[in-house]
Amino acid sequence: MARPVTGTALRDGFLKDVAVLTFGLVQARGNSLHFGPVELLRFGPAKMNRTRVEWPIEGGLLTRAPGGRLRIEAHRGRLLASVEGYRPRLPLPLYALTQLPIHHLVTRLHLLRVRGRQPAPGMPAEPTKRFAAAAIDLGLCAALAAGSGRRRPLPALLGIAAAYHLACWSLAGRTVGGVLTGQRVVAIDGSRPSVGQAVVRLVVLPISALRFRAIHDEVAGTDVVSN
């Protein structure tokens, strides 16, 4: 964070952002999160101080029993979110594979939205270099698909391209095209994109291609910067 943020701002922003980040599928009603008529999570009244907000977890479909809390705070120039004492309804191994990645993604995207895009994480990559990197990566994926020997090359190309980009973005922040053109993908705070951000970025990428605008970076909280 390059600017201070108050507990009040953190309180007011989180529940609103959940609706935005889930494309309206999950809505805040009072201190509860709803999917249609179903109450997913119910929080108690928020407890705040100058730089922190904390909600007790009181129930909802996703909880096995009341207890625990969600906390978001600004501490020494960083935004932190934590959950303690939460009792999910699902068995823990199943929860870790299903709900937990979604919780992590929504919370991380919310914190990045609070942080904002300024200051920028680096020098933005030039559009011509971005197109060049995309062309290199597409050619590489096409060559791999052609060499796979599949009778249906288009599904093979889509599968290879998806796996290639998700792995490159989340593990190294750069593809082969990015290495050759001197650029990399970062979260807007300068950190490496999470797997969830990489998935969101990939899913929205076709819309960006149609509109000639980096909507995938806007939604995923990422940017492409020069090395």
Given pLDDT bands bounded at 50, 70 and 90, which one contains residue 138?
very high
Question: Which two tokens mark 178?
Answer: 């990015």
Q: Are 222 and 186 in contact (CB under 8 A)?
A: yes
Q: Which amino acid is at 23?
A: F
Q: How confident is the model at residue 215 (pLDDT cuts 50, 70, 90)?
A: very high
Taking residues 144-169, what's their average pLDDT? 90
Confidence of residue 152 (pLDDT cuts 50, 70, 90): confident
Q: What is the pLDDT of residue 151?
A: 76
Q: Residues of the chain with pLDDT > 90: what percent? A: 89
Domain locations along the chain: 7-115, 127-226
- In single-letter form, the type of residue at position 48 comes to M
Q: Once rounded to an integer, what is the mean pLDDT over residues 187-199?
A: 96
Residues in the chain: 227
The tens digit of pLDDT for each residue in 71-93 reads: 999 988 899 999 999 999 999 99
**Mean pLDDT value of segment 204-224:** 93
Give the pLDDT of residue 2.
80
Q: For the chain, what is the largest distance between any 2 Cα atoms, rounded to a whole number of angstroms?
A: 62
Asked whether the bond before 119 is cis by omega within 30 degrees of 0, the reply is yes
What average pLDDT does the segment 6-16 reach? Answer: 92
Distance CA 145, CA 39 (A): 45
